[in-house]
Structure 1
Amino acid sequence: MILQNKERIVIIGFGPVAASLVEGLLPAVTAGTIELIVVSSEKHLAYNRVLLAELAVGATRAEHLGMVDETRLRNAGVVLQLGRTVKRVDRSRRQVLLEDADPLSYDRLVFATGARPTIPALNGLNFDPHSEAQLPHGVLALRTLEDAMNLNKVLQGNGRVLVLGGGVLGIEAALAMAEAGHRPVLIHHGPAPLGRVVDADGGTLLIRSLRAAGVEVISEARATGIQKDETGFTGLVTQTHGIIEGAALVLSTGVRARTELASSCGLAVNRGIKTNEYLAADIEHRIFAIGDCAEVAGQAPVGLLAPGWAQAGWLAQYMLSTPAPGPADPSLHDPISLAPPSLESSDVLMLKGQGLELTAGGDIAAGLWDESGSQVTVFADPAEGKYLKMVSQAGVLTGFLAMGLPRTSAELVLSYERGSMLPADRSTLLRLDDPGILEPAGAPGPDDQLCRCSGATHGQVAHAVEAGCTTVAEVGESCRAGTGCGGCRAVIEAMLKTPVPA
């Protein structure tokens, strides 16, 4: 039964985005104005999935992936229902029905169910898109702590691991294994990994760089099934390369929003749970969706932490400032006073590891001699692992691919996201990676993004340092910078070493 004078909010799912929402609602929970219940099918507290590959290769420990303090949450009054499966949602009675526990009534409900791995249609695999796949032993998707632990056992036995999929996550997993001294094999469908990002020359250099880093690459592969024996996976069956033997298969073929619960209770779903610009999935503004399961105002889930965290922050602010509709309120009559959460997200892609550095953004499809009005600039030095392609319109960068040019990449990211003019002589950008030049030509401003996972800016990190933060962890607690993939830690550490003006 719903408590009088205390709103009950139920959150389904407990990943990083849900954890952010819980943090935002915590003051009201502590004050006793909100009763907050979190239900998760996983037995673990929210953890950082970005670092699962590092856990699998033994570069970090499971406790380092945690994103919340269980004791702190429980002491504040948050009810954590971990390892519980939600059967369905009864909207007419405002109840969440569990498989092995009493129903939970709610005043407002938040779907934070995230996404599940897309299982390819291979003989020998359960690829039902609307259920959790029961994968054979030795086949995993590196999406959970259990996946990472199982992969770690294979690696400890020095087994050959196949990675199916040429996206960022598959490449990062393969690089992590190679760096730890293992023998990963990256298998993908197209002519080169990151086929939607690289051009032909960039793809050739990417393959060469991956092989130099210790990753075997098999391109143009058409997988049709898996081979297994009584112990589990033994090989990937392909039309093009026969049977590729291995001790484990890591599937990195994309994700699909978990929408089944929402669909079964009558909510609209498409590529995710459909919401309006205010994250509401119903007309009453009683049910919301955030993160990888949400299709907000027609925009498909982007699969990044920063937009999800921004949604969670906005929703917490909204729930704290706006009471839930009463039992007699058929819909929300008053306009929402808060501006809707921003849907903007950068399409810049960054890949680093084992001496490989790649940054890309926008569209680089234009050719050198195309009569499209675009200016195309290309530089290549394959022997040094360097490649740059820039496409611009009227002097403004619209797409770029940079490999082996970290300072040039940093400058291009700033120019691309600001929409600023490129220098008339594009070759001057290459001089940024001259060891004799200490600083890039355009220093980042306070509003420029520093942490691509959290969306934290240079200004927010600078403010955290000025406020007394002395470690990367303390900066992360202040503004979340450095709590994702860790790619910005070096910049944060440099800012921590810079004296704060008196």
Structure 2
Amino acid sequence: MNEQRPQRIVIIGFGPVAASLVEGLLPAAAAGHCEITIISAEEHLAYNRVLLAELAVGAAEFGHLGMVDPQRLAEAGVDVRLGVQATGIERSRRRVHLQGDGHVSYDRLVFATGARAVVPTLNGLNFDPHADASLPAGVFALRTVDDAHQLRESLGHGRRILILGGGVLGIEAALAIATTGAQPVLVHHGPAPLGRVVDADGGALLRRNLREAGVEVVSAAKATGIQKDAHGFAGLVTSTHGLIEADALLVSTGVRARIELAAGCGLPVGRGIKTDEFLCADTEQRIFALGDCAEVAGQPPVGLLAPGWAQAAWLSRYFSQLVGAASPEPLPAPDFSASDVIMLKGQGIELAAAGDISAGYWDETGLQATVYADPARGRYLKIVTRQDAVTGFLAIGLAQASAELVLAYERSTALPEDRSALLRLDDPATDQIAAIPSDDDQLCRCSGATYGQVGHAVDAGCTTVAEVGENCRAGTGCGGCKSRIEELLAKAPALAK
């Protein structure tokens, strides 16, 4: 469908996923095939939210978080409206109404509204699920740059900072805060942080590792409210541990898709804005949704960059063909699936997990559970296999074994009959050869970039992690893959000169 005038593409929201979509559409916009308008309630251009904890503790500067080039946007004629709130969608006239009296007309509309932090139902907090909470002084939810700046002002040597929530983001925030000299206290429900991932022994080791990293852990806590004084937050009220006093509270209890604008114009919503497998949210194929706000083909938003960036890449190709910027050719069937591998790194903690490790030694004939524990060295490994293929694992303090297990889990390949061979990969006294990743194996879990794509970037002349990131996005998310990218760069000394 190639209309005479440029197609008007309006994008609501300007986070990392929207930035990736715009990046893919820039050639079409620069050629005059489409006109892109971005409406963002935030005052900042798209930035990497994964690194907000590092920004809050001063380990990163805001300039390093940027994900778009303002000059390229301007050269392509992209109309970026920052600090502007979209208030309604008039589908019959294809208009997006803006705060005030203005509106923007569209031919294609994309919801990239993301998610807001879930504020728990505690006495003293506004827990409206459909609005951004107005939090009292000293209470934060780390979702924006402004949140990070406010949290930084609350940090200081010896100041006690509570983190409510024992997921990956809560743990990473606590570890980052510990580096500032403040005293982080991780408060969570359940026997151990990452309770859905770890078993009893792994959880005990994780708690110990966190304490050794300077994080106090309060487990099995049931929070009921907050206590305030003249300065703001003064403590967390619990029914299990009484009052836990502190100077500030960081809420890290999950996120909820921003769906109110879509619901208001009659689009189907659930846990997100409901779309088909092609990201389309209406019957006229005018409105689309992607990223943290989208419930694609019945699958809830996963809150990860990799599937969001995959959605953006596919939709940008689809739009480019739609406006006539590319030769029509069958698009591959979209695959927006996300790996369930969880990786945690920081302050000497190395943890990787995936799948289901609940099986015991004698639970089922078809499942085999293998466990290794070395408390003195902070190492723990549990693997569950079916016919030698990994169905779940938890590895703590075993970096090389973790890498091997991730490959085996995602490839569905068999492990060696002698499981102890995996342990020798982390023994510096032995020279074991680990499995060699193939070009199709994923290297960067945020962008989805493969070893082959990174290798191609290196072969093309990239000599730094930043240059590789510009080429294929690897290393531009959480940064957990930077060491692997550096290893590939080191193996190309001729290019590094």
TM-score by length of 2: 0.96
Task: State the Cα deviation string for residues 400-426 of structure 1 (Å, max 9, x = none).
Answer: 000000000000000000000111111
Superposed counterparts of 1:467-482, under 5 Å: 467-482=460-475
Which residue does 2:257 correspond to in 1?
257
Which amino acid counterpart does residue 229 of structure 1 have in structure 2? D
Counterpart Cα distance in 2 of 1:71 and 1:323: 23
Counterpart Cα distance in 2 of 1:438 and 1:183: 41
Which residue does 2:117 correspond to in 1?
117
Q: Is the 8 A contact 2:167 2:194 kept in 1?
A: yes
CA drift of 1:438 comes to: 4.6
Which residue does 2:345 correspond to in 1?
352
User: Which residue of the other structure, out of 410, 416, 426, is the alignment partner of 1:423?
Assistant: 416
Q: Is the 8 A contact 2:443 2:450 kept in 1?
A: yes
Counterpart Cα distance in 2 of 1:500 and 1:268: 54
Which residue does 1:330 correspond to in 2?
none
CA drift of 1:501 comes to: 8.2
Superposed counterparts of 1:46-61, under 5 Å: 46-61=46-61
More displaced stretch, 131-140 vs 104-113: 131-140
Which residue does 1:327 correspond to in 2?
none
Superposed counterparts of 1:302-313, under 5 Å: 302-313=302-313
Counterpart Cα distance in 2 of 1:4 and 1:342: 32
Q: Is the 8 A contact 1:117 1:143 kept in 2?
A: yes
Which residue does 2:481 correspond to in 1?
488
Q: Is the 8 A contact 2:33 2:323 kept in 1?
A: no
Task: Return closer, same or farther for 1:152/1:369 CA change in 2, 3 Å cut-off.
Answer: same
Q: Is the 8 A contact 1:84 1:100 kept in 2?
A: no
Which residue does 1:208 correspond to in 2?
208
Superposed counterparts of 1:246-395, under 5 Å: 246-323=246-323, 337-395=330-388
CA drift of 1:373 comes to: 2.0
Counterpart Cα distance in 2 of 1:120 and 1:433: 41
User: Which residue of the other structure, out of 402, 405, 413, is the alignment partner of 2:398?
Assistant: 405
CA drift of 1:323 comes to: 3.9
Helix, strand or coil at the partner of 1:475: helix
Which amino acid counterpart does residue 34 of structure 2 have in structure 1? I
Which residue does 2:450 correspond to in 1?
457
Q: Is the 8 A contact 1:411 1:440 kept in 2?
A: no
CA drift of 1:336 comes to: 9.6
Task: State the Cα deviation string for residues 195-243 of structure 1 (Å, max 9, x = none).
Answer: 0000001000100000011000000111000111232111111111111
Which amino acid counterpart does residue 46 of structure 1 have in structure 2? A
Which amino acid counterpart does residue 230 of structure 1 have in structure 2? A
Aligned length: 490
CA drift of 1:441 comes to: 2.2
CA drift of 1:486 comes to: 0.6
Correspondence 1:233 to 2:226: no
Task: State the Cα deviation string for residues 249-277 of structure 1 (Å, max 9, x = none).
Answer: 00000001111111110100111100001
More displaced stretch, 432-441 vs 60-69: 432-441
State the superposition RMSD in angstroms: 1.6
Which residue does 1:126 correspond to in 2?
126
Q: Is the 8 A contact 2:156 2:181 kept in 1?
A: no
Task: Return closer, same or farther for 1:352/1:443 CA change in 2, 3 Å cut-off.
Answer: same
Helix, strand or coil at the partner of 2:408: helix
Counterpart Cα distance in 1 of 2:69 and 2:249: 33
CA drift of 1:341 comes to: 1.6
Helix, strand or coil at the partner of 1:350: strand
Q: Is the 8 A contact 1:116 1:256 kept in 2?
A: yes
Counterpart Cα distance in 2 of 1:304 and 1:386: 28
Which residue does 2:138 correspond to in 1?
138
Task: Return closer, same or farther for 1:439/1:101 CA change in 2, 3 Å cut-off.
Answer: farther
More displaced stretch, 36-45 vs 154-163: 154-163
Helix, strand or coil at the partner of 2:228: strand
CA drift of 1:372 comes to: 4.5
Which residue does 2:95 correspond to in 1?
95
Superposed counterparts of 1:73-84, under 5 Å: 73-84=73-84
More displaced stretch, 226-235 vs 77-86: 226-235
Which residue does 2:222 correspond to in 1?
222
More displaced stretch, 338-347 vs 126-135: 338-347
Correspondence 1:498 to 2:491: yes
Helix, strand or coil at the partner of 1:389: strand
Unaligned runs of 5+ in 1: 325-334
Counterpart Cα distance in 1 of 2:260 and 2:144: 20
Superposed counterparts of 1:25-36, under 5 Å: 25-36=25-36
Task: Return closer, same or farther for 1:125/1:440 CA change in 2, 3 Å cut-off.
Answer: farther
Helix, strand or coil at the partner of 1:194: coil
Which residue does 1:149 correspond to in 2?
149
